[in-house]
Amino acid sequence: MRFVLWPNELDARLSRKYGRAVKKSVAVDSPGLEEVEDAVLSLGFKVVEKVPEKLNPRLSGLDEEFRTRGMLVVESPYGKGKTLKLIAEKIRELRARTRAKGKSRRKRR
């Protein structure tokens, strides 16, 4: 399946009215386009198109701090809902791994 994916669909700071498409318990704070793309690729899904400057029309009424620019067209064997959930979980995993690496580096010095 192919569909458009916006980083704000995974953003825990936003309400569903402004485009969050997953449960708040699954969502992540301020996901960036690169972070979402890394998660998509590490899950083995295909990024068909990437438009970094695109803004989701639902975000036009929000303050700039909540506007996450970018859009991906993703090809996944799952539906959009399941794919978004998997991506959010992968972002959490990647963030935890990054934090763990940072802590272990500090200890070595």
Judged against a pLDDT cut of 80, whether residue 109 lies above it is answered with no
Report which of 47, 43, 93 is spatially closest to residue 70, judged by C-alpha positions: 47
Mean pLDDT value of segment 62-80:
94
- What's the sign of the alpha-carbon dihedral 35, 81, 13, 24? negative
pTM exceeds 0.85: yes
Residue 104 predicted with pLDDT over 80: no
Q: Which CATH code is given to the segment(s) 2-108?
A: 3.30.56.30
Q: Residue 18, exposed/middle/buried by CB under 10 A (0-12, 13-18, 19+)?
A: middle
* pLDDT bucket at 107, cuts 50 / 70 / 90: low
pLDDT at residue 91 tops 60: yes
The predicted pLDDT at position 105 comes to 58
pLDDT at 58: 87
